[in-house]
Structure 1
Amino acid sequence: MHMLTRWGTAANFLSLFHPEQRLACVVDGKMIIKVQYENRKKYIKLQAADFDEFISEVREKFSIPGDKITVEDDSGTEVDETVFAELSSVEGICFVVKDSHDDGTSQSSPPSTSWPSNSASSLSVFSSSRDSDMSRQPKRVKCDEEPLQSAVAKDLIKQILQTKAGGTKVLEEYDKTGKLCDSTRRHMINILAGDMVEKEGRVPQRRTKEKYALGIVTLFPALKDPLSAKGYEHFYDAQSGSGFLAWRIKTIQRKTKLECTKMKMQNTGGGGPTQERELPQTGDHLDEEYCKESISLMNHTTDQEIVKQKMKETFNYRQRLIHNSDESHTILTVFPRLLDTKGLIAQDFSLLFGPQTAAKLLEKWPTFYKEKVIREAESLTTTSVLQSLLKSARNQHNDESPEVHQEWDSDTASLLLLLHILPPQPSKKKKLKISATQAMDHLVVFHKSITSLEDHLEKVEGHRQPYILASGTHKWAVSNYYIVVDRMLIPCQGTTSLAAFDELFKAHFVFSVNYDDALSHMFTFLQTTVYGIDAATTKQSPKVKELRAKIMNSN
């Protein structure tokens, strides 16, 4: 067995020999790391153990011109971003960096495997033979030792501004006023920093940033600082790594890293209703103009079959609208037939996942899940609400007078029992905990049919996730079900409570809406276990997984 595999991480392995030196030095909240490049050793500061930030700082500190940098520890073992964070936490370790021009002859053989026991820098010991070997290496003549030519730098900046979008406005403003206002200067910096990143990647060379800074003050003399050594340090200062260009490049680095992280999350899948999915082909490709014509036709016809057909044809257009953060809030305005035509939510869900997935709750809840959920709920701590739900779920209220109770029908009660088995968890952000009984109102609300539905909508406070509004004379005698979205009513196609819950679940995916925090575990169980959607990629609590195991493995 490999040594590091046997003992765990590299950091843990090294800590066996020097447990008192396990943590790296931290000053003013920044990590201090020792680095060697060729025959030079320096310390660098990092905000965090981030590999990309490390490479960027190394380039700055050593003025490395190479396109590619490799990192090794002081034993010659290559270090990549997957282990960098752990290794960087070991005090005394020295990272050895090489650029693409390094043929490897500048580094000596690995140090002896004997470990001094009383040296604070025992993990970064460099033998005298290594130093002497390095001293004998011929010094390369670096391109960045040549003096910068202001005329060349000036022509470079002028050529970039003349060819990049918006660059000519910078030149015109300076020609007209002899200066640049703050907004124009920021725009120029954005153009030039973007050009550097485009040519050299996320970590441009120090020499390149100096060249661009020199070119700016040569092309625009009024921007030169007469009291600084070079006159362009406010655009880029190699000593401190600061200046307008440096700050903009660091912003680009942060943004591109976030974008890469988001792309990884999308590629691995996050699961759930807000996950953007590959849309199915719904017939011939329809352009935006045709879709708008179809929408206009839908809004002026009373033929529901035409509405359903045109909604099917515009499905891809509607999904793109829903997943556009700037346009998603207009969905019920653009497609108002969702508010008066039953079955459109079910149709869109079937287009997303297919008819087999769409039918699973209605098929499997009564025959497989319902009884097992009831049995599981019987083992919970008894409360009056729980006992009442159990009676309703088992239809044991039938022998009582209707006036005695105000409980739900059997299917609704069984789903509310599922909510008690998978109750809300305290919110880390809001630090607020609600009970399963309180969460029931987040799922379904009863509305006496003798009062106006508009009265209920006016009382809805703030933004709420979609929920069911059950209208009737009693909870066990509901005549109409609606899904409430943004204080608007969408009529349910089904006439049963189970069909209404089915449509409520599907509405989250059709509109790309997150689950209510209080109902998240319950909906996640239905999504992954009953419907079988994104079971491998959705984050699930241990309680959800435990319940699935109990139900799937029970007789």
Structure 2
Amino acid sequence: MVRILVSHLMEKFGEYPSPDRKKELALALVTQFPCLRDSEGSGYGVWYTPGRYRHPATGFLEERLRNIRKRLHSHSSASAQRSQTTNERRATVTDRITLLPDTEVSEADNSKMTEWLKKSKQPVSQVEEFMRGTAIYRAQWIRENGSKSLMDITQEYPRLLDTPGMIAQDFGILYPHAKDKLFEIWGHASQRILSYCKTEKRALDLLPLQTNISSDTLGDVALKTLPAILPPLPYKIGSKMVRPSYQEAKEAFVDLQPVGTNIIQYLEEEEQRRQFPHVLQLGDKVNCSQAFVIVGGVALEQDSLLQAVDTCFKLFYVLDIEYPKPAAAVWQFLQHTIYSVPGGVPSTHCRLLRQFIIG
């Protein structure tokens, strides 16, 4: 459909149709086919969104036009490529919260609790209480000048990773509206995603052949299809453009390994290969035997794959770190569609899948 529409645009109005022409075509499309409407804003934004100050135009029509112009004028494509790259890079950046919730804990009490937490792991109830009391100060400290490494954070707050539930507790204090969203919404969302996958050739291979499997298992399968239906975004390292492969995107989100994998050896290899948080599943493409969140050379075991993805997402916000580039599109989708956490610009594919789910 996009090819036909853009071909019509270029035939009638040349290589650079005006914004009004593109907007008229996008509006006519969703008027004629209401099922293609975007639920946000004008209703046609996923097909064409005009450029604004410092934000270039986006949408399927604009992206197709841009790609055709590149091929037709490869010798003069540098400017257009810079514009596209800037927009895509902007889409991978997650804006962090600037206003933290108020706290009734004094600085003196915060210091006392922080020092106690450095030395004590027990009783767990006391750890949970003191971690809750220091959460706001901890978020402020982590965000100061943006230079805190994971080692800095774990040395100052060791209980954050070695006590189960502390990542979720911190996230719930910073984003109370989003703390349970994945568990509340995923049942419905996963069914819609699996329906969407039937139209995507790459995702078809991930769908189970059995029909009598549990809803939890189907939910896990839906999670693992996301890299197949949300193409990884290209990004730049210096002057070089990097385009992650599907395999890289898949492993950066959920790394699937066989049951019996040596976790200690895996962690040693991962420290050399990948420095960003990700999910590790032991099992096959349908069944999950064990699930972990891998961060800083540590494997945090979780009760399920869904919980592992939830914990990994919350890690990015609690530790104030960016999404890994190969899997950025997947985490953006979860951020905007499931958790409703503001910040950043979702890709066109993210918006289309979101519309399919909520429409």
Instruction: Report the Cα distance in structure 1 between the residues aligned to 2:103 and 2:221, rounded to whole angstroms.
Output: 38
Q: Report whether the alignment pairs 1:365 with 2:171.
A: no
Alignment match, 1:337: 159
State the shift of 1:276 in Å: 3.5
Partner of 1:514: helix, strand, or coil? coil
State the shift of 1:476 in Å: 5.0
Greater helix percent: which structure? 2
State the shift of 1:319 in Å: 0.9
Instruction: Report the Cα distance in structure 1 between the residues aligned to 2:288 and 2:274, rounded to whole angstroms.
Output: 25
How has the CA–CA distance of structure 1 residues 514 and 311 changed in structure 2, closer, same or farther, with 3 Å as cutoff? same
Q: Report whether the alignment pairs 1:551 with 2:357.
A: yes
List aligned pairs for 1:287-298, cutoff 5 A. Answer: 287=108, 290-298=109-117
How has the CA–CA distance of structure 1 residues 474 and 523 changed in structure 2, closer, same or farther, with 3 Å as cutoff? closer
**Which of structures 1 and 2 has the bigger CA Rg?**
1
For structure 1, which segment, 543-552 or 313-322, has the greater mean C-alpha deviation from structure 2 after superposition?
A: 543-552
Please point out which of 483, 493, 503 is paired with 2:293. Answer: 483
Q: Are 2:190 and 2:218, in contact at CA under 8 Å, matched by a contact in 1? A: no
The size of the alignment, in residue pairs, is: 263
List aligned pairs for 1:18-417, cutoff 5 A. Answer: 273-287=94-108, 290-298=109-117, 299-324=119-144, 325-329=146-150, 330-354=152-176, 356-367=177-188, 369-380=189-200, 382-383=201-202, 386-391=203-208, 395-396=210-211, 409-417=217-225
Instruction: Report the Cα distance in structure 1 between the residues aligned to 2:111 and 2:351, rounded to whole angstroms.
Output: 45
Matched residue type, 1:410: L
Partner of 1:530: helix, strand, or coil? helix
Instruction: Report the Cα distance in structure 2 between the residues aligned to 1:464 and 1:396, rounded to whole angstroms.
Output: 38
Q: Deviations over 1:3-60 (max 9, x none)?
A: xxxxxxxxxxxxxxxxxxxxxxxxxxxxxxxxxxxxxxxxxxxxxxxxxxxxxxxxxx
Q: Report whether the alignment pairs 1:528 with 2:336.
A: yes
TM-score (norm 2): 0.65
Q: Are 1:439 and 1:518, in contact at CA under 8 Å, matched by a contact in 2? A: yes
Identity %: 25
Alignment match, 1:469: 280
Instruction: Report the Cα distance in structure 1 between the residues aligned to 2:174 and 2:94, rounded to whole angstroms.
Output: 11
State the shift of 1:477 in Å: 5.1
Q: Report whether the alignment pairs 1:540 with 2:346.
A: yes
Matched residue type, 2:264: E
Instruction: Report the Cα distance in structure 2 between the residues aligned to 1:413 and 1:475, rounded to whole angstroms.
Output: 7
Alignment match, 1:19: none
RMSD between superposed Cα atoms in Å: 2.8
Matched residue type, 1:496: S
Matched residue type, 1:283: E
Partner of 2:122: helix, strand, or coil? coil
Instruction: Report the Cα distance in structure 2 between the residues aligned to 1:436 and 1:271, rounded to whole angstroms.
Output: 17
Instruction: Report the Cα distance in structure 2 between the residues aligned to 1:349 and 1:271, rounded to whole angstroms.
Output: 21
Alignment match, 1:444: 254
Q: Report whether the alignment pairs 1:455 with 2:280.
A: no
State the shift of 1:518 in Å: 1.5
Q: Are 2:233 and 2:328, in contact at CA under 8 Å, matched by a contact in 1? A: no
Matched residue type, 1:515: Y
Q: Are 1:446 and 1:470, in contact at CA under 8 Å, matched by a contact in 2? A: yes
Q: Are 1:424 and 1:433, in contact at CA under 8 Å, matched by a contact in 2? A: yes
Q: Deviations over 1:261-303 (max 9, x none)?
A: xxxxxxxxx996551431212333233xx33331332232421
Q: Deviations over 1:130-153 (max 9, x none)?
A: xxxxxxxxxxxxxxxxxxxxxxxx
State the shift of 1:497 in Å: 1.3
State the shift of 1:546 in Å: 2.2
Q: Are 1:467 and 1:483, in contact at CA under 8 Å, matched by a contact in 2? A: yes
Q: Report whether the alignment pairs 1:516 with 2:324.
A: yes
For structure 1, which segment, 428-437 or 511-520, has the greater mean C-alpha deviation from structure 2 after superposition?
A: 428-437
Partner of 2:174: helix, strand, or coil? helix
Matched residue type, 1:363: E
State the shift of 1:451 in Å: 4.7
How has the CA–CA distance of structure 1 residues 280 and 478 changed in structure 2, closer, same or farther, with 3 Å as cutoff? same
TM-score (norm 1): 0.44
How has the CA–CA distance of structure 1 residues 423 and 517 changed in structure 2, closer, same or farther, with 3 Å as cutoff? same
Q: Are 2:208 and 2:286, in contact at CA under 8 Å, matched by a contact in 1? A: no
Q: Are 1:339 and 1:489, in contact at CA under 8 Å, matched by a contact in 2? A: no
State the shift of 1:422 in Å: 0.9
How has the CA–CA distance of structure 1 residues 314 and 273 changed in structure 2, closer, same or farther, with 3 Å as cutoff? farther
Alignment match, 1:418: 226
Instruction: Report the Cα distance in structure 2 between the residues aligned to 1:446 and 1:416, rounded to whole angstroms.
Output: 9
Matched residue type, 2:132: K
Q: For structure 2, which runs of at least 5 residues remain unmatched after alignment? A: 1-52, 54-90
Q: For structure 1, which runs of at least 5 residues remain unmatched after alignment? A: 1-81, 83-269, 399-407
Q: Report whether the alignment pairs 1:499 with 2:307.
A: yes
